[in-house]
Amino acid sequence: MIHRAEEKFPMRSIWVMAATALAVILFMPRPAAAQPWPQKPIKMIVPFPAGGGTDFIGRLAAKHLADRLGQQVFVENRAGANGAIGLQALMASDPDGYTIATTSDTPMVVNPWLYDKLPYAPLRDFLPVATIVRFPGMLAVHPSVPAHSVAELIALAKAKPGSLAYASAGVGNFSHLAMELFAQATGVKLLHVPYKGTGPASLALLGGEVQMGFNNVQTLLQNVRAGQLRALAVAEPQRLALLPDIPTVAETVPGFAMAPWIGIIVPQRTPQAIVSQLSAEMLAIMRDPDVIHLLTISR
Amino acid sequence: MASGGDAFEQLIKSDLDRWGNVIKSAGIWVE
């Protein structure tokens, strides 16, 4: 015998089931409505020691982010392994918008080529939020070097392969890689002398232990203005408005341009709405006249 | 100077390529 559905489920039973289902729906826990972000303090990892350039920019960004978001943004310095320790900590954090990082370019674009067992992959494990600043580079020589232009420096280096030495703040540092890029672009052979940090490298250049160096405009400009170094060029596509008399490397070596940067990243899988809001806030901060003024006078 | 996520991602990709070429060509390594 074939039973019809209404026989299998009499009307009375159907009403009971419907009422029960309604009760379940009415009293079941409802998913929380999306809360506006942020609801609690935000941790900002800086993968370098306190007092350095990335830390300075990170703390500046944290202060202004806190003002705009109405929540505390506290900096946690997680230094070590050229920034890899801090980014590993970021990778292990919950992707909920409450752990972010201010990083320089080195841990993101240099470390993957320097370390065989890097625990993170930049674009697999992190979402780029916004760049904060770029630092234009400058090529400078000791005043004793008989070169007053990039062309003269190249000619001098080609006449004496391997005899012109440059200082760097360490293997893989921007001051090292910029010179390697220059050497490869111009076909010259230079002698690399790595020091332990920017301070010792700068002293070596000022003291004439080495003949040349590539570093940030901010780092070198004071010595250039004091006559302790001779600026040959900046590594921007066009001359800097603040330094119109200093040519670009690209005027002699077409296409040569480079500048280290600092930016904000978050763990992969952080909600897109938070990433977008954070990006918009950072861009607004970096267009703030007070911030622009502070970064300008810090040069 | 500052830029948003898409431009930042392109910057990371281009710098990864650039420094990868420089580092491999120069034979730079760390212990």
Question: pLDDT tens for residues A4-23?
Answer: 433 444 555 545 555 555 55
Q: Quick one: pLDDT at residue A5?
A: 39
Give the type of residue at A16: V
Interface mutation vs chain B, best among A60, A115, A177, most B CBs within 10 Å: A177
Domain A137-251 fold: D-Maltodextrin-Binding Protein; domain 2 (3.40.190)
Q: Which residue of A has its CA nearest to B15?
A: A109
- Gap between the Cα atoms of A234 and A225, Å rounded: 15
Tell me which DSSP letter residue A25 carries. H
Residues A109, B30: C-beta atoms closer than 8 Å:
no
- Gap between the Cα atoms of B7 and A131, Å rounded: 9
Domain ranges within chain A, ordered by starting residue: 42-134+261-297, 137-251
pTM equals 0.81
H/E stretch holding A222: helix A217-225
Q: Is A185 on the interface with B (CB under 8 A)?
A: no
Q: Quick one: pLDDT at residue A13?
A: 53
Bigger pLDDT: B19 or A23? B19
Give the type of residue at A293: H
Is ipTM over 0.85? yes
pLDDT under 70 in chain A at which residues?
A: 1-34, 297-299
Residues of chain A contacting B18 with CB distance shorter than 8 Å = 109, 181, 258
End-to-end CA distance of chain A: 92
| Sheet order of strands, A126-134 included | A73-77, A42-46, A99-104, A261-267, A126-134
Is the C-alpha dihedral spanning B17, B23, B24, B30 positive or negative?
A: negative
Domain A42-134+261-297 fold: D-Maltodextrin-Binding Protein; domain 2 (3.40.190)
Q: How close does chain A come to B27, measured CA to CA in Å? A: 10
Q: Quick one: pLDDT at residue B28?
A: 86
Q: Quick one: pLDDT at residue B13?
A: 95
H/E stretch holding B13: helix B5-26
Burial of A201 (0-12, 13-18, 19+ CB in 10 A): buried
Interface mutation vs chain A, best among B17, B19, B23, B28, most A CBs within 10 Å: B19
**Among A118, A111, A141, residue whose Cα is nearest residue A228:** A141
The helix/strand/coil state of A66 is helix
- Let me know if the fold of A42-134+261-297 is the same as that of A137-251: yes
**Among A141, A149, A152, residue whose Cα is nearest residue A247:** A149
**Among A134, A21, A85, A101, residue whose Cα is nearest residue A278:** A101
Q: Quick one: pLDDT at residue A34?
A: 67
**How many CB pairs lie under 8 A apart between chains A and B?**
90
Q: Quick one: pLDDT at residue A46?
A: 96
Q: Quick one: pLDDT at residue A111?
A: 94
**Among A231, A181, A184, A185, residue whose Cα is nearest residue A205:** A231
